[in-house]
Structure 1
Amino acid sequence: MIKTINKKYQQQLMQIKEQCQEASKKLKKAFQEGAAIKIDNKEIMIIYKYISCLQFSNIYQLSNQVHQEVETAQINRHLYQPNYKIVDQQLIEIYINLLKEFINDICYQVDKFKQEKESVLFIVTKTYHDYKAYSYWLYKIFYYLDNNFTSYSWTSLGAISISLFKQEYFDKFNKLILNTIFQFIYETRKYGILLNKQIKQLIELYSIMGSKEVELKYIRESGQYYYISKKQEDAQRFYKEQFQSHLLTETSKYYKNEIDDKLNLTTTEFINWANSIFKLEQDMCLECYQISQQALKNKFKLILVSDQAARLIDSPTGLGYMLKYDQTDELKLLFKFLIQNQECIIYISKYFEQKGQLLNNSFENQEQIEQQKNEAELYFTNILLFMEKAQDIFLNQLEKEPDVQR
């Protein structure tokens, strides 16, 4: 009797496999044609019904009949436990094989178009979208397994989907994807053009590939599919290690060269250029990688403000020049730029300290005492004027940005 039941559910498994293959062909055709996915719910329910009926009519029926037989034969029922696992395992194998077939197809597509960054951007964006859509529809077909699984060791359908994609697709093309992202970022920085919005889809890979448990969601209004991480800590750790660390390194390298080329600018010109960089990079962050916004902001405060503060103050067109010619607007610009990192204010203090020391040393020359007195008076007057202006600027800044007070 057990053999008869086993044969029957093997036949039903074959029917399920055939139905899934038909559904898979329809999905692949829709992806290839760029058409809307049209799988009737009836088709899904037919396969779903096969799976659920297979579980209830065979597994549970088998369980009851075996239980009666083993009671008669005085045999321990757990000896038959492997029979209960076979169907579940075979259903999962169907699910996994369908995903692997699809991954092989999309890997082939990427291999064909990996020469140009525009092609890579297009094909990776498309194949990633298609895989999420494919996984979503397969999930609907195999949904029963996630909700009624009684297996001894189980991982969710979503976890299987993302794990296979990471191992057999992402790990293979990780370097290619990363290089493509940075090529587009480099172009944006160099020419000030808008960053291609599709880059966001590539960066999304790094924000989700570290996840071990996910669920798939479909947003009907936008037609987009998403992996939602159930453990954000894993996802964030992977993102920081695999993407953000490279982003910060590449950013430092690029702007080190840019700063070296801008050393001939006046203090005001450099600050205006640096402020334009802050704006450009903020726009890119908001558009494509918001998670890294604070890390990048800190990086720019370091390389554009902290590392340049002393040079900008001591420059021939720096603080002394601005005070001498009463350049109030330029002083405001300098102070507002430096206040982004409050530690930089110490460079202003050092500037005045050095000027004071120079005046002290010059008093040794008796012939120039009168002249030095006048210079000292002018010097301390300038300090007072500067401190008044600095206070006004700072108070205005507090009014405009109350968060600074905290």
Structure 2
Amino acid sequence: MTVGTEQAAPRTVRGRTVPDGVWIGVLALLTAVAPLATDMYLPVLPTVATELGASASAAQLTLTAFLVGLAVGQLVIGPLSDSWGRRRLVLAGTVLLFVACLASAVAPAVAVLVVARFLQGFGGAAGLVLSRAMISDRTAGARTAQLFSLMMAINGIAPVIAPVIGSSLGGVVGWRGIFVVLAGLALLMLVSSLLAVHETLPAPARTSGGVRRTFADVGALLRRRRYVGYVLAFATSFSMMFAYISGSPFVLQQTLGLSTTQYALAFGTNAAGLVLGNIVSSRLAARVAPRRQLVVAVGGLVVLCAALLVVVLLGAARWPVLVLLFATLATLGFVMGNSAALATGEVRDRAGTGSALLGATQFGLGALVSPLVGSSATAMAVTMLTAATLSAVSLTALTRGATAPR
């Protein structure tokens, strides 16, 4: 097998050639489940609690269950794909996602909804973990970083439109209707995958050995210092973003006094900043090495989050907070794609397992961060600064001596 080159696998599905643009677009759609299933759902959480007779904490547990499902699903599906191949697991996971969305729509109690949300996350994890693995199968170096950033830029449209869609649908079809819409999205993902996603890991390149081999692979990857450093830089940066996502409904509306419409506009603008950062990073990939972009961007995150904390402690003036949040999300766009590309670049021989650990750490930390933020602007700013600092420390301490692939 020629690992990490664009000739690693055929580009055809059932004898039809699939253009690269279509292939990347479908992979981006497969990863859209996480922001859509999270952000469309946020505006209706209070309604869910009321209609199901549950507490606010129990309603928030449905969000946590989804994130745990994403983490566990990636840990299971990623290593399996190194043995079974990528495509069949993408299809199976998307079918599970579809069924779980329908189950969520008819859930009679919050406990049933928690289980259905976990299964949503588990099924949706297939698209997340295997899209990264498939790109890693076919590309290398700066090209990988470019495609990761481009895919995340496309995927970044999801959090721009999700709160608006969620707010609008919540008033028309209710929270159950939102899950019907998500089921429709899952069906679209399934059809698109059948038509455009080809197998990128040929049979001769697959591993064998079952569960014992999986555990051995995980242990081997955790001993690769640079891989662990890039994974932690990626995951802690994501947890910084999730601190913002979980805290923003309270901070922007209660502390800054934004209306529901103004909040949706501000949230969408900040998400657009994230998209913009990814697009610029992708365009720069051919001229500026991914590692160099990453180092500069992580340093920028520490400075911006420190400034945000100072502004919050001084009284949380509306415009300085909004400007700093936009700048932080735009800078984060330079971190996510490059750190993911550099991490997978360290483990091309076990791309599925490597992508699984990356995603599981990402959403595992995200699930832990959510309850730490609460409704406090100070807690949100402190959590974001802590995450940015940990990202910088991980990058500095564990990836020294790494080359800057082009």
Shorter-chain TM-score above 0.5: no
TM-score for the superposition, normalised by structure 2: 0.23
Larger radius of gyration: 1
TM-score for the superposition, normalised by structure 1: 0.23
